[in-house]
Amino acid sequence: MRLWSIHPRYFDPQALTSSWREGLIAQRVLQEPGSSLRAHPQLQRFLEADEPLEAIAAYLNGVADEAQERDIVFDRARVVASGVLPEPLVVTDGQLDYEWGNLRRHLLGRSPDVASRWAKVWRPQPHPVFVVVGGGVASWELA
């Protein structure tokens, strides 16, 4: 499961679709308190939010907004919460850089035209649910 901290504008169609799908899986896991998947490292920051379901809904809404910009329709009725957060989630600049390197490698391999479009971006904007703070790569990423 990969729940990117990067703004979905940088995604190719495959990453956009998989972010939607994996976000929906995360939402289902967050709804099931006994699920063994709740321990998945990618869910840690959503579980730490005051309202985990609102946090994942905000994430999904950001992905759906980008899809809509591209005339791709994701069924927003599948999002179980409003996605209204009292404050954004936090991502470190080190984590954003780490993910950017991963995404760029994926794009170079499967969507070179998209990789080329973003080649001059040193650090991407975060997904709208996140605010960037200083720091290194997340501990759950390296586990």
| Per-residue pLDDT of the chain in tens (143 residues, 90 and over written 9) | 799 999 999 999 999 999 999 999 999 999 988 888 888 888 999 999 999 999 999 999 999 999 999 999 999 999 999 999 888 999 999 999 999 999 999 999 999 999 999 999 999 999 999 999 999 999 888 76
DSSP helix/strand/coil, 2: coil
Give the pLDDT of residue 118: 98
Q: What are 59-77's pLDDT values in tens digits?
A: 999 999 999 999 999 999 9
| φ, ψ (nearest 5 deg) of residue 32 | -110, 95
**DSSP type of residue 111:** -
Give the pLDDT of residue 1: 75
Give the pLDDT of residue 51: 94
Give the pLDDT of residue 116: 98
Give the pLDDT of residue 143: 62
CB 41 within 8 A of CB 47: no
Give the pLDDT of residue 36: 84
Give the pLDDT of residue 55: 96
Give the pLDDT of residue 39: 87
Give the pLDDT of residue 61: 97
* Global model pTM greater than 0.85: yes
**DSSP type of residue 36:** G
